[in-house]
């Protein structure tokens, strides 16, 4: 009875109810996504604060301010004021004009914990970037594409629940029989190119080899990665999930993150986005 009571919850009217398996999964998703998005947004705020700060840069022959310690050192070495390099200038803030597109593989092999962790990683990233006013698009792909978050769309937790429902539906539906990742990258690149941000990143989550359907077989993954690199001026980032996904990502993507243990997957995405913005 004690164990049952721990799982039960109480609603606003004081009525005790036991959540079913799907409800528990939704509760788990909410809790984990909140932790991950807060972790990422806190990391990014620290990076942004440092990058936006105007720093004093020495070693100039003229400038707005004199570096006292540097000048004292020069006087001790008998350097004339006209030859001084103790003048300091303030650097310009670093440009933080980022735009992200996240592609999530929803082919049939992603069923279960893989799609759940991919959803967590993608949506927690989207929520964290949203808090910092950075555009982020999230798209599911298999035989077809389904955008579940637009670049500037502001989402509530309730909407994220509907997004989880769409991910589950895609990975178990008719379109789950194919992995059109080349076509997905081609389409996403065109969409990302049209955004106004200067630094564009395409992150692709996948757990296996390309398996294009007949109508999209002309979009070869290797070629589309090269095309996206040339258009976006940055390499698409492959995120491999599980053994097969890691092997495929190693084969096709020069810039990659490997997650053999899918439980670590969302946290590696937090690290990845922090590294991108921290450069």
- The pTM for the full model equals 0.73
Nearest Cα neighbor of 180 from 155, 150, 217, 147 is 217
* Tally of structural domains, the chain: 2
In a shared domain, residues 228 and 178: yes
The rounded distance, in Å, linking the Cα atoms of 145 and 2 is: 46
Q: Using CA atoms of 106, 107, 109, 113 in order, give the dihedral in degrees to the nearest 10.
A: 10
11 domain residue, yes or no: no
Instruction: Give the integer Cα–Cα distance in Å for 85 and 66.
Output: 9
Q: Verify that 78 and 128 share a domain, yes or no.
A: no
Are 60 and 127 part of one and the same domain? no
Cα separations (Å) of 113 from 124, 125, 132, 194, 256?
Answer: 16, 18, 29, 34, 21
Interstrand relation of 199-206 and 237-241 (parallel, antiparallel or unpaired): parallel
- Both 242 and 134 in one domain: the answer is yes
* Per-residue model confidence as pLDDT tens digits over 207-251: 888 888 888 999 999 999 999 999 998 889 998 888 888 888 899
In a shared domain, residues 122 and 195: yes
Q: State the residue range of the domain holding 110.
A: 33-48+95-278
Does residue 121 belong to any structural domain of this protein?
Answer: yes
- Would you state the pLDDT for residue 118? 82
CA separation for the pair 207, 169 (Å, rounded): 18
Q: Based on the fold, state whether residues 71 and 118 are members of the same structural domain.
A: no
Length in residues, the chain: 279
* Same structural domain, 146 and 123: yes
Residue 188 in this model has a pLDDT that exceeds 80: yes
Q: Do residues 256 and 129 share a domain? A: yes
pLDDT of res. 44: 76
Query: Is residue 43 located within the same domain as residue 71?
Result: no
Given a contact cutoff of 8 angstroms between Cβ atoms, the answer to whether 175 and 213 are in contact is no
pLDDT digits (tens, 9 = 90+) for 40-74: 777 777 777 776 555 444 444 445 565 666 656 76
CATH of the domain at 225: 3.40.50.410
Q: Do the domain assignments include residue 186? A: yes
Is 16 part of a structural domain of the chain? no
CA distance 219 to 189: 13
Residue 40 lies in a domain: yes
Residue 42: predicted pLDDT = 79
Percentage with pLDDT > 90 across the chain: 17
Q: Averaging pLDDT over each range in 30-34, 45-49, 57-61, 160-164, which range is the top one? A: 160-164
């Amino acid at each position: 009875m004690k164990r049952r009571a721990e799982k039960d919850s109480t609603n606003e009217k004081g009525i005790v109810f036991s959540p079913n398996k799907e409800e528990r999964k939704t509760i788990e998703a909410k809790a984990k996504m909140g932790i991950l998005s807060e972790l990422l947004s806190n990391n990014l705020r620290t990076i942004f604060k440092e990058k936006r700060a105007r720093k004093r840069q020495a070693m100039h022959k003229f400038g707005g301010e004199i570096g006292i310690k540097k000048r004292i050192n020069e006087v001790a070495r008998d350097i004339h004021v006209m030859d001084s390099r103790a003048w300091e200038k303030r650097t310009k803030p670093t440009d933080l004009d980022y735009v992200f597109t996240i592609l999530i593989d929803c082919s049939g092999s992603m069923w279960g914990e893989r799609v759940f962790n991919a959803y967590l990683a993608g949506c927690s990233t989207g929520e964290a970037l949203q808090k910092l006013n950075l555009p982020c698009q999230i798209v599911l792909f298999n035989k077809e594409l389904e955008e579940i978050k637009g670049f500037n769309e502001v989402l509530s937790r309730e909407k994220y629940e509907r997004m989880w429902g769409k991910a589950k539906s895609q990975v178990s539906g008719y379109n789950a029989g194919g992995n059109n990742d080349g076509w997905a990258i081609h389409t996403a690149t065109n969409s990302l190119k049209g955004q106004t941000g200067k630094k564009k990143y395409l992150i692709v989550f996948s757990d296996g080899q390309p398996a294009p359907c007949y109508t999209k077989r002309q979009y070869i993954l290797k070629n589309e990665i090269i095309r996206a690199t040339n258009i976006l001026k940055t390499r698409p980032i492959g995120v491999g999930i599980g053994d097969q996904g890691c092997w495929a990502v190693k084969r096709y993507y020069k810039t990659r993150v490997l997650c053999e243990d899918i439980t670590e997957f969302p946290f590696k995405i937090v690290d990845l986005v922090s590294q991108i913005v921290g450069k």
